[in-house]
Amino acid sequence: MTQPIDCGTALHELYEFLDGELTEEKRSAIEEHLDHCAPCDGARKFEGELRIVIADRCQEEVPDELVDRIKAAILLAKEQA
Amino acid sequence: MADQATFADDAMQYLNQLFSVAQRLTGNRAEAEDLVQETYLNGFRAYGSFQEGTNLRAWLFKILQNNYKNALRTKSRRPVKFEPRDDEEIEEHYFMNRTTPEDVALDRMTDTMVKKAVDELPEAFREAVLLADVEGFSYAEIAEITEVPIGTVMSRIHRGRKSLQKTLYEYAVEQGLIATPANLGGGTL
Ligand SMILES: [Zn+2]
């Protein structure tokens, strides 16, 4: 039997939940709450969406010359070895 | 034991991720490029000691992180704000508490806004948030990469996210991405 979870606990543990860092027992208890509580479910969606936006906006395009530089540096190190 | 001959083939797939994080750590493209190149070179030289079948991506990030720390120590051209000066308490879910997904155009947040907000985080928090939120590493992996206890990692991620959310929220209000900012109070309209 899992303990019922209140909104405060669910929100406080939301990051660990989204990060996949909770024990299975805790995770399913939180999920159970999120699935049945509209405001907390909204929080889950919001935090999830925000994280996707942050991750997406932080992607940098690798300059071609950097790829070439690295391959050349490794090649040189190989020859010197 | 990993074979040095296959290093480039094994490791080049992570270039984009390493470069993205390097760019946010250094805040500078030329330095990011140097940092990443140095990481690959060190990785190549040390590849014989890499245990095949373990996490190559985390291993490379650990080299990157080490090189970055060393560069910070030797250069120190800019003051290093590694931990925040005053530990102001920011509430959890700062952004969300002030708006709803319907009222905020999250998808209109630009690269520039998000990068600027990340850049404003103190060093240790920025590193933890990048590794967790951008690279998706587990707390244990981040502890291993940054060489701090897992409790410290959790606290950095947590505080970093709170701080990032506050800054992002302020930018979103500034840029008019929020239809009805709840904290403007007063109800003047
Ligand atoms: Zn709830």
Q: What pLDDT is recorded for position B100?
A: 75
Residues in chain A within 8 Å Cβ distance of B132: 19
Distance CA B30, CA B142 (A): 25
Token representation of residue B115: 């990068």
Helix/strand/coil percentages in chain B, nearest 5: 70, 0, 30
Nearest Cα residue in chain B from A63? B33
- Compute the distance from residue A12 Cα to the ligand 1 centre, in Å: 11
Query: In this complex, do A42 and B45 lie within 8 Å of one another by their Cβ atoms?
Result: no
Nearest to B134 among A50, A55, A81 (CB): A55
Residue B48 in domain: yes
Residue B174 in domain: yes
pLDDT in tens, B118-176: 999 999 999 999 999 999 999 999 999 999 999 999 999 999 999 999 999 999 999 88
Contact of B79 with chain A, judged by CB distance below 8 Å, is answered with: no
Rounded to 5°, angle at Cα B100 from A27 and A18: 20
Whether pLDDT at B79 is above 90: no
Topology classification of domain A7-80: Arc Repressor Mutant, subunit A (1.10.10)
CATH number, position B14? 1.10.1740.10
Could you list the beta-strand ranges (E) of chain B: none
Distance CA A38, CA B74 (A): 52
Nearest Cα residue in chain B from A50? B106
pLDDT in tens, A22-80: 999 999 999 999 999 999 999 999 999 999 999 999 999 999 999 999 999 999 998 88
Query: Which domain covers residue B50, as residue numbers?
Result: 4-76
What does the buried/exposed string (b/e) look like for B32-68 if buried means 16 or more CB atoms within 10 Å of the residue's CB? bbbbbbbbbbbbbeebeebeeeebbbbbbbbbbbbbb
CATH number, position B146? 1.10.10.10
Whether pLDDT at B104 is above 90: no
- The pTM of this model reads 0.89
Residue B188 in domain: no
For residues B113 and B161, membership in a common domain is answered with yes
Sort B168 into a burial class: Cβ within 10 Å, 0-12 / 13-18 / 19+.
buried
B188 band by pLDDT with thresholds 50, 70 and 90: very low
Whether pLDDT at B185 is above 80: no
B1 band by pLDDT with thresholds 50, 70 and 90: low
- Compute the distance from residue B184 Cα to the ligand 1 centre, in Å: 26
- Which residue, B47, B76, B105, sits at the end of a domain? B76
Query: In this complex, do A50 and B165 lie within 8 Å of one another by their Cβ atoms?
Result: yes
Q: Among B26-30, B75-79, B113-117, whose mean pLDDT is lowest?
A: B75-79
Counted domains in chain B = 2
Running DSSP on this structure, what letter comes out for residue B120?
T
Residue with the larger pLDDT of the pair B187 and A47: A47
B residues 93-122 lying closer than 8 A (beta carbon) to A: 93, 95-96, 100-101, 106-107, 109-111, 113-115, 118
Query: In this complex, do A62 and B19 lie within 8 Å of one another by their Cβ atoms?
Result: yes
List the one residue out of B64, B93, B72 whose CA is nearest residue B168: B93
